[in-house]
Amino acid sequence: MNKQRLITELQTHGLRLVESTPGAAGRRGGAGPSDHRAITIDGTTVMVPVYNDSAAHSPYTLRATAASPLHIEASGEAITPIDVPNAPRFYGLTTADGIPYSKIALLHGRDVLATTVQQTCMRYRDPATACQFCAIEKSLDAGRTIARKTPQQLAEVAEAAVRLDGITNMIMTTGTPNTSDRGAAYLTECATAIRQRVPNLPIQAQCEPPDDFAWFERMKAAGVDSLGMHLEAVDPDVRARIMPGKAEVPLIVYFAAFEAAVNVFGWGQVSTYLLAGLGDSLETLVEASDRLIQLGVYPFVVPFVPIGETPLAHHPSPSSEFMFTLYQRVGALLKQSGMASADIKAGCAKCGACSALSTFEG
């Protein structure tokens, strides 16, 4: 099985853990890649589900024995050796005000620092508005993070992560506050503090489209290098069913925001998540990707991964065949346009670990 197919299989089926394994542990719940662990296959680091229902029944097992180093097995046979990123050294530190660094920001992939600057969302507590796949406040409820990270805390952790662990870029996302800027104002404040402490660290900020697109200029001026605004789903019926509150922001607003953001951050420096497997057809996802690429937006296509204790905890992931075909078609569009994840300055699509898409760009 080649690397593209194996990564696609692992990210749709998950990976069973049969005993404790070395390296940086994943996490349960929260924003971003939850219920995952990072593994490296033939030089490519990917996030693979390990803590959800699908992983518990995966045909793939992560194992290490005295006779064989860490590897993946299928049907009792070793199919590939793997590596895992080490637990970062900055996790052992606490902030000046006594908060463990791991409650402020986390290692994603192999060399990316990620944080949710505000761990609450105005839509999360109301079933009528909540995104059905989201677990943003689960890690807060479990005491693994704090509700709001200060700019000073973020700058302190970012400096240590770069110095101790070689972090190469940083992602800041946020739960959506009940303000018209949709979190852009606080992201701007946080970026300013980080940039003062770590001048050369590339930063991506992620939020919903603000009411005033002038926030893009303000974020850029504060030190934000790339921007993520995440569609997740495209079909109006799917959006209304899966994320009823967020669906109230129509696609026309997102695409106007994309165009304005590309004018500020540059072609290929704006990205959006597309979660395959929530109900959008293959053609819908390919057509949306084509439209985004033509605007200068990188369509970060990832398989939907069910997260425990969410309304979609038992919703199936897309098939590996569906994802492989989707990757092939979107990868061809990216190649034709000359857009590549490696050229993004910072962010999820730059890291690429939650998707196999980057391996289809060439």
pLDDT of residue 169: 98
Q: What is the pLDDT of residues 22-64, one digit of tens each?
A: 555 554 444 555 577 899 999 999 999 987 777 888 999 998 8
pLDDT at 232 over 80: yes
Token couple for 354 = 């939650």
pLDDT tens column, 261-295? 999 999 999 999 999 999 999 999 999 999 999 99
pLDDT of the residue at 25: 55
Distance CA 278, CA 131 (A): 12
In this structure, the number of other CB atoms found within 10 A of the CB of residue 59 comes to: 12
Other beta carbons within 10 Å of 338: 11
pLDDT above 90: percentage of residues in the chain: 81
Q: For residue 272, which phi and psi values (nearest 5 degrees)?
A: -145, 145
- Identify the pLDDT of residue 27: 46
Residue 54 confidence (pLDDT)? 78
- Give the percent of the chain with pLDDT over 70: 95
For residue 240, the model assigns a pLDDT of: 98
pTM, entire model? 0.94
pLDDT score of 322: 98
Compute the mean pLDDT over every residue in the chain, rounded to the nearest whole number. Answer: 93
Pairing of strands 77-81, 106-108: unpaired
Give the pLDDT confidence score for residue 55 in this predicted structure. 83
pLDDT digits (tens, 9 = 90+) for 298-334: 999 999 988 888 999 889 999 999 999 999 999 999 9
The three state secondary structure string of the chain is CCHHHHHHHHHHHCCEECCCCCCCCCECCECCCCCEEEEEECCEEEEEECCCHHHHCCCEEEECCCCCCCEEEECCEEEEECECCCCCHHHHCECCCCCEHHHCCEEECCCEEEEECECCCCCCCCCCCCCCCCECCHHHHCCCCCCECCHHHHHHHHHHHHHHHCCCEEEEECCCCCCCCCCHHHHHHHHHHHHHHCCCCCEEEECCCCCCCHHHHHHHHHCCCEEECCCECCCHHHHHHHCCCHHHCCHHHHHHHHHHHHHHHCCCCEEEEEEECCCCCHHHHHHHHHHHHHHCEEEEEEECCCCCCCCCCCCCCCCHHHHHHHHHHHHHHHHHHCCCHHHCCCCHHHHCCCCCHHHHCC
Alpha-carbon distance of 80 to 102, in angstroms, equals 31
How confident is the model over 335-361, as a mean pLDDT?
97
Question: Average pLDDT of 332-342?
Answer: 98
